[in-house]
A and B are shown apart, each in its own frame.
Chain A
Amino acid sequence: MSAHRDTGPREDRRREAYRTARSTLAALQATLPEFSTLSYTEVLLALEAATDLAVPAVVPVETYDHGSLYVQARTAVERLAEHGNRLGLELVLADLDAVWLDDVRTGGAGDLP
């Protein structure tokens, strides 16, 4: 990967989106109880595997509202998918949706019946 690809507004936006995605996913994971069969961490790992950017530091999120966190994370991954490993990131989105659906179905209890 040459140096000029690491600069430029698009790369900045991608890095920003990546940071947002990681931060919100980490915050979502933090909303789950400690022992949980659901895990946003796996989504996070899949995201890492599907992204070629350097792993950024997680920043504090502005809200702890479940829904907005999900929307933010999903939007960020969608933005990443616009210029990147499309298939991998689409599968990350599918993973995120699956975990989110289970999360909603269990009402935030984090455990499937």
Chain B
Amino acid sequence: MTYGQSAAALRDALGRLLAAQRVRAALDGRDPRRELAGKLFTAGYSWDEIQRALGIGRELLREYHAAFRDDGRLSEGPRRTASEALEDGGFDVRPFADREANRQRAMRDAVALLVERGYEHQQIARAIGANDHTVLRYRRLLEADGWRPTVVTAAHALEEAGLEVPDRATTPRGAERSSAYRRLIAFLRGRGHEQQEIADTLGLNVATVRTYQRRLEVAGWTPDPRPDPREALAAHGIEIGPDPGELGDENREMVTFLTTRGYTQDEIAGAISLDRSSVAYHQSVLRSGGELPPRDAAPRVPIEQAIANLAIETPDRATPTQRVATAELIMRYRAEVIAYLAAVVDHSVEHRFASLAAGATDPTYRLRAALLELRDTGPRATAADLGTVQPIRAVDLWRQAAVAALAGRERDLPTTLTADQQAAALGDAVAVLRALVGLDERYAAARGWQRLPLTVSPGTETWALPAVVLDAAAWVTDHEGADFSIDRHGPLADDRRPGPPPATLAAAAGAMTQAAAYLAGESEPVKASVMRWLVDAQRRIAAYACHHARTLGLDDAVAVHEERYGRYADIDAALTDVAGTAGRETMAVVEIAGAVRILHHARRASEPALADLTTACQDLDRTIAQMLRVGAAGYYFQRTERLALDNLTGTVTRRTVPVHDPISGENNPGYAPGWIELERLAAPREVARSPEREAFTARVHALAADSLAVAQARNLALYPSDENRRVLADHTSAKVIAGLDELDVAGTAFAEARARLVGALAATNGTLAELGQRCGLEPGEIAWLIEPACGIDAEALTTVGVDRDGGELASDGGVSGSERTDGVDVPVFAVRSADGGFDGLEAGWDDLAEPPAFVGGSVADVEGPGL
């Protein structure tokens, strides 16, 4: 875990906590069930289900619903309108008035028909589903409209039934005729016609009809029951709709249907064409017990599962004791977080002020003082507190925050920070502190909660805590350029398990990776003594790695580490008499020492681990080579012994005196080739895999060595007494020869290092005209740039150029012992490295960041302005 990870975990936990509290506080309620209910509303669960699942009353649920509706959140999501929902439920959604008018028309028709048919009022009432008062009322209404019942005569009835009266003239008297009469009389009497009317219709006299009837009765005849009036109605196509009671029931059913699906009264009223008060009435009837079950099934997910999915906890009602205990627990977690903040701010705030009053003008100082004071109040969380998962989600979020804070404080605290990194850390701390203050306000009314103090008073001053926090927040906002590379600080979690590290190659590779990161992060070369230790350690590590590679049978890796061993052995020899007190000490030493120890004991090697180790070693090689290169200019010195003559006491004494000189090719010939070879090893030339590869590589190496020797000789001729510049020129020549630098780069960077030009020219056998063309200058200007140091004739350089085969430059240039006359004191040493590892250093040393102003500079003008 790094600082960034623990800080991010803390911020995330507190963010979630704030979100949970925001939802709770949304309705004043501190009640998570509101949000839950709202989500269930939109998910389409019925009110009853939600009510049962959440264990709350309808009133509260209605409040939640209203709040949700007011937020405009009910309309989100795939929710159907009330009318669509009714259609889904199979309801008739015609307006009530239409349906009622239709129904009344049908009732009048039915009453008229059935009265004309001679049915009793009771029969009619039963047929049309009303009571006889209703039938009477309709009859009176019909009569008031001028309706008179048309009586159905017996003849009409016969005609309607398709029965014929036997013709007396054609039908002979006898059984056939009497049976026909008997049938007709039975039919008509069954329809309720009078005997007289029947007699008139059939052309008989009453006595005959009566006789027929009596005979029928004797034979067991009873009059047919009259047909069901409903059949008559159906025969005439009259359909009575549901009666008002039933219609009300259907409305109520629709209201129920929509209410349980969370539609509002307005929506319901709009959908079924009722006014809102009627809807409210129906709902009140429902509420008093007459509820109807919803028609269709609930959403597929059971509501318990849906609640679990939403993960909003609904705490059981806690006792006051439990509440106080919870508050105390949270306060312990809070103390842990505050301790972390205090530690971070303590590391990232300048606190060495002359006096408290002077410091008090700085918001960050006030923040630090306030946090240090807050830190010492109240007990911290115990291991049990931190390790026990809390059932209540908010409390568990507090726990997570405290765990992150503890991990950050104990393991990931950044120690050395730049000003920008301090600003980043401070920004994090202020955000967390704002969250703490906000949560403190939310919890103010909770039982057993002790608020953060309103004021802090370190020493004699007294500051309001919110003001301190706001000031710090404003300071962070104003402070541009926060450097979030701090997020990568801190050791990796895998490296710091308790106990000694396992003796595996992977652990060694991890340590070496860490060491490479440490070393690459140093802004200056390490001290000479540290460098010697580093080189020796690398030599030993190369030996170990070579051994493991050989065990694994990896020939490539064996070759790599054998060559590394040779290079480091050379450098080690070259560093024997190198000393210097300038530079840094680095944590990489600790890691590398650990790696050496592990490698000494490591038994089981694996190929990936060895590959990691090799990569880390090559990273280290690169950094070490850079440090050696930069170190020669002002950090590392060659220790030589010279004879000195003392004659203080009158007698001349000879003794040897140690003298520290800048490293040069003369006093330490192995130094420059050492780091150059190392650098070449770390950034190997890409040679195509061809059969002639070996030969080609050997040729290139030989050529490079030759070229380097020639170039160094030439540089020596150019700078016979100017050691710094000669070393510089040597290095630049070497870089160009090694393929790490080009004439182009040297040309564009000419302003930074004029000596580089000499080196580059010497190495490439280039002409001034060529170089001038590359960097866009006149050859004369180039000559002027170079000349003050060596006094070469510009014309000669331009025409002749620098010849590789000889010392023309030295002889022709009339090399004199002229000292530097350009007024630049600091040695210009700013070779731009490929990976930019020394950018900061470069910027600090670069005294010639801008091209020098040319005052009357021309080809003929061989004297620079500084002369």
Residue in B closest to A46 when the chains form the complex, CB atoms: B477
Please report which residues of chain A, range 64-104, place their CB below 8 angstroms from some CB of chain B when the two chains form the complex.
68, 71-72, 75, 78, 81, 85-91, 93-94
At the interface, yes or no: B73 with Cβ under 8 Å from chain A? yes
Residue pair B15, A81 in contact (C-beta under 8 Å):
yes
**B14 interfacial contact with A, CB 8 Å:** yes
Q: Is B851 at the interface (CB under 8 A from chain A)?
A: no
Instruction: Indicate if the CB atoms of A90 and B15 lie closer than 8 Å.
Output: yes
Segment among B16-24, B160-168, B721-729, B793-801 that sits at the interface with chain A: B16-24
Question: Shortest CB–CB separation between residue B173 and chain A, in angstroms?
Answer: 97
> Contact at B438–A94, with CB atoms within 8 Å?
yes
Question: Quick one: which of A72, A85, A91, A93 has the most chain B CB within 10 A?
Answer: A91
Contacts of A93 in B (CB 8 A): 18, 22
Query: Contact between B19 and A90 (Cβ–Cβ < 8 Å)?
Result: yes
Tell whether A86 pairs with B18 under 8 Å between CB atoms, given A91-B431, A91-B435.
Answer: yes
> Which of B11, B22, B72 interacts with A87 by CB under 8 Å?
B11
Q: Which of A68, A78, A90, A94 contacts B72 (CB 8 A)?
A: A68
| B15 lies within 8 A of A71 (CB) | no
Q: Please name the residue on chain B nearest to A93 by beta carbon.
A: B22
B632 within 8 A of A: no
Q: Is A86's CB under 8 angstroms from B71's CB?
A: no
| Cα separation A51 to B14 with both chains bound (whole Å) | 17
Give the docked Cα–Cα distance between A87 and B9 (Å). 11
With contact pairs A81-B19, A93-B22 given, residues A87 and B431 touching in the complex (Cβ less than 8 Å)? yes
B19 with A86: CB separation less than 8 A: yes
Q: Which of A35-73 contact B (CB under 8 A)?
A: 49, 68, 71-72
Interface size for chain B: under 10, 10 to 19, 20 to 34, or 35 or more residues?
Answer: 10 to 19
Query: Binding site of A, secondary structure by majority: helix, strand, loop or mixed?
Result: helix
Inter-subunit contact B431/A86 (CB<8 Å)? no
Which chain A residues in 20-45 approach chain B with CB under 8 Å? none
A98 CB, min distance to chain B CBs, angstroms: 10
B15 touches A89 (CB 8 A): yes
Bound complex: CA of A81 vs CA of B22, how far in Å?
A: 12
- Name the B residues within 8 Å of A91 (CB-CB): 18, 431, 434-435, 438
Chain A residue contacts of B72, Cβ below 8 A = 68, 71-72, 75
Tell me which residues across on chain B come within 8 A of A72, comparing CB atoms.
72
Chain B nearest CB from A83 CB (Å) reads 11
Please name all residues of chain A whose beta carbon is closer than 8 Å to the beta carbon of B18 when the two chains form the complex.
86-87, 90-91, 93-94
Q: A68-B72, A81-B15 are in contact. Are A88 and B431 (CB under 8 A)?
A: yes
Question: When chains A and B are docked, how far (Å) is the Cα of A72 from the Cα of B434?
Answer: 25
Instruction: Give the Cβ gap from A42 to chain B, nearest Cβ, in Å.
Output: 9
Within 8 A of A (CB), among B57-82: 71-73
Interface residues of B, dominant DSSP: helix
Are A86 and B11 also in contact (CB < 8 A) when A91-B434, A91-B435 are?
yes
Partner of B12, one of A49, A71, A75, A86: A86
Tell whether B188 is near chain A: CB-to-CB under 8 Å.
Answer: no
Residues on A with beta carbons closer than 8 Å to the beta carbon of B71: 71, 75
Contact A90 B73 (CB under 8 A): no
Counting contact residues on chain A (CB < 8 A from B), the size range is: 10 to 19
B321 CB → nearest A CB, Å: 31
Q: B330 at interface (Cβ–Cβ under 8 A)? A: no
B73 lies within 8 A of A75 (CB)? yes
Interface flag for B36 (CB, 8 Å): no
Q: Please, how many angstroms separate the alpha-carbon atoms of A30 and B7 in the complex?
A: 37
Cα separation A93 to B23 with both chains bound (whole Å):
12
Q: How far is the CA of A91 from the CA of B469 in the complex (A)?
A: 13
Closest approach, in angstroms, between the C-beta of B535 and any C-beta of chain A? 40
- Chain A residue numbers with a CB within 8 Å of B734 are none
B472 at the interface (CB under 8 A from A): no
CB-defined contacts of A75 to chain B, threshold 8 Å:
71-73
Once the chains are docked, how many angstroms separate the CA of A104 from the CA of B106?
A: 60
Chain A nearest CB from B817 CB (Å) reads: 59
Complex contact B73–A87 (CB within 8 A): no
User: Nearest-CB distance from B38 to chain A (Å)?
Assistant: 12
User: Does chain A have a CB within 8 A of B432?
Assistant: yes
Provide the bound-state CA to CA distance between A63 and B72, in Å: 14
Enumerate chain B residues within 8 angstroms of A78, measured Cβ to Cβ. Answer: 19, 22
Residue of B nearest to A72 (CB): B72
Q: CB-CB < 8 A to B11: which residues of A?
A: 85-88
Residue among B12, B15, B431, B438 having the largest count of chain A Cβ atoms under 10 Å: B15
A58 to chain B, nearest CB (A): 21
User: Which residues of chain A are near B435, meaning CB under 8 Å?
Assistant: 87, 90-91
> How near does chain A come to B710, taking the closest CB pair, in angstroms?
50
State the CA gap A75–B16 with chains docked (Å).
Answer: 16
CA gap between A71 and B435 in the complex, in Å: 22
Q: Give Cα distance in the complex from A93 to B438, angstroms.
A: 11
| Residue pair B438, A86 in contact (C-beta under 8 Å) | no
For A49, the chain B residues whose CB sits under 8 A away are 477
Chain A residues with CB below 8 A from B14, complex form: 86-87
Q: Closest CB-CB distance, A36 to chain B, in whole Å? A: 19
| B431 nearest in chain A by CB position | A87
Chain B positions within 8 Å of A68 at CB level: 72
Question: Which residue of B is nearest A49, CB measured?
Answer: B477
- Within 32-72 of B, Cβ neighbours of A (below 8 Å) are at 71-72
- Chain B residue contacts of A94, Cβ below 8 A: 18, 434, 438
B491 to nearest A CB, angstroms?
25
Tell whether A86 pairs with B22 under 8 Å between CB atoms, given A75-B73, A94-B438. no
Complex Cα distance, B72 from A88, in Å, reads 25
How far apart sit A100 and B71, CA to CA, in the bound complex (Å)? 16
B859 CB to closest chain A CB (Å) equals 54
Which residues on the A side are within 8 Å of B19 (C-beta)?
78, 81, 86, 90
**Shortest Cβ distance from B70 into A: residue:** A71
Q: Is the CB of B438 within 8 A of A87?
A: no
Query: For window 308-366 of chain B, which residues contact chain A by CB distance below 8 Å?
Result: none
The residues of B that contact A71 with a CB separation of less than 8 Å are: 71-72
List chain B residues, Cβ under 8 A from A81: 15, 19
**Chain A, residue nearest B428 (CB):** A87
With both beta carbons as reference points, the residue of chain A lying nearest to B432 in the complex is identified as A87
Closest 4 CB pairs of A and B: A86-B15, A87-B15, A90-B18, A87-B11
Between A and B, 20 residue pairs with Cβ closer than 8 Å are A49-B477, A68-B72, A71-B71, A71-B72, A72-B72, A75-B71, A75-B72, A75-B73, A86-B12, A86-B19, A87-B11, A87-B18, A87-B431, A87-B435, A89-B15, A90-B15, A90-B18, A90-B22, A91-B435, A91-B438
B interface residues (Cβ-Cβ under 8 A, vs A): 11-12, 14-16, 18-19, 22, 71-73, 431-432, 434-435, 438, 477
